[in-house]
Copies of this chain bind each other. A is one copy, B any other.
Amino acid sequence: MSASGALRPNEIARLTGLARSTVSAVTAELKESGIVIDVQEPRAGRRAVGRPSIALKLNPEAGHCVGLHLGLDEIRLVIADVAHSIIAQERLALGRDYDPRAAAEHTRTSLLAAYERHGLDPDRSLGMGISVSGPVTPDGTILHSSILPDWAGLNVVDVFRPVLGRPVHADNESNCAAVAEMTWGAAQDEDSFVLFKIDLGVGGAIVHGGRILTGIAGGGGEFGHVCVDPDGDLCRCGNRGCLELAASFNRPLATLSQLHGRALSIPDVIALADAGDEEALASIAKVGHAAGFGLAMVGTILNPPLIIIAGDMALAGERILAPLRQAYETHVLIKSGAVPPARRTRIVTGAFTETDSLLGAVGLVLRDIGRLGASTDTGTSGTL
Give the distance to chain B from A297, nearest Cβ to Cβ, in Å.
Answer: 5
Asked if A223 CB lies within 8 Å of chain B CBs, one says: yes
Asked if A18 CB lies within 8 Å of chain B CBs, one says: yes
**Closest residue of B by beta carbon distance from A235:** B333
**Closest residue of B by beta carbon distance from A293:** B230
**Interchain CA distance A331-B217 in the complex, whole Å:** 16
Residues of A208-253 whose CB lies within 8 A of B: 208-209, 211, 213-223, 225-228, 230, 237, 239
Q: Are B230 and A303 in contact (CB under 8 A)?
A: no
Asked if A304 CB lies within 8 Å of chain B CBs, one says: yes
Q: A225-B333, A227-B300 given as contacts; is B338 within 8 A of A144 (CB)?
A: yes
Give the distance to chain B from A12, nearest Cβ to Cβ, in Å.
Answer: 12
Asked if A113 CB lies within 8 Å of chain B CBs, one says: no
**Interchain CA distance A377-B210 in the complex, whole Å:** 11
By size class, the interface of chain A is 35 or more
Tell me which residues across on chain B come within 8 A of A344, comparing CB atoms. 216-217
Tell me which residues across on chain B come within 8 A of A221, comparing CB atoms. 301
Q: Are A303 and B215 in contact (CB under 8 A)?
A: yes
Give the distance to chain B from A317, nearest Cβ to Cβ, in Å.
Answer: 24
- Partner of A213 from B208, B214, B334, B338 at Cβ < 8 Å: B208
Asked if A363 CB lies within 8 Å of chain B CBs, one says: no
Q: Are A19 and B17 in contact (CB under 8 A)?
A: no
Asked if A254 CB lies within 8 Å of chain B CBs, one says: no
Q: Are A135 and B216 in contact (CB under 8 A)?
A: no
Most buried by B among A143, A227, A237: A227
Give the distance to chain B from A4, nearest Cβ to Cβ, in Å.
Answer: 26
Tell me which residues across on chain B come within 8 A of A217, comparing CB atoms. 303, 334, 339, 343-344
Asked if A302 CB lies within 8 Å of chain B CBs, one says: yes
Asked if A167 CB lies within 8 Å of chain B CBs, one says: no
Q: A216-B304, A303-B217, A303-B220 given as contacts; is B18 within 8 A of A375 (CB)?
A: yes
Q: A143-B334, A300-B227, A301-B226 given as contacts; is B220 within 8 A of A377 (CB)?
A: no
Q: Are A297 and B226 in contact (CB under 8 A)?
A: yes
Asked if A345 CB lies within 8 Å of chain B CBs, one says: yes
Given A215-B334, A227-B297, A230-B331: 13 more A-B contacts, CB < 8 Å: A17-B383, A18-B19, A22-B22, A192-B216, A208-B211, A215-B302, A215-B303, A217-B303, A219-B333, A220-B302, A221-B301, A228-B228, A297-B301
10 nearest CB pairs, A to B: A215-B303, A219-B303, A17-B375, A217-B343, A216-B305, A225-B333, A219-B334, A227-B331, A217-B339, A208-B208
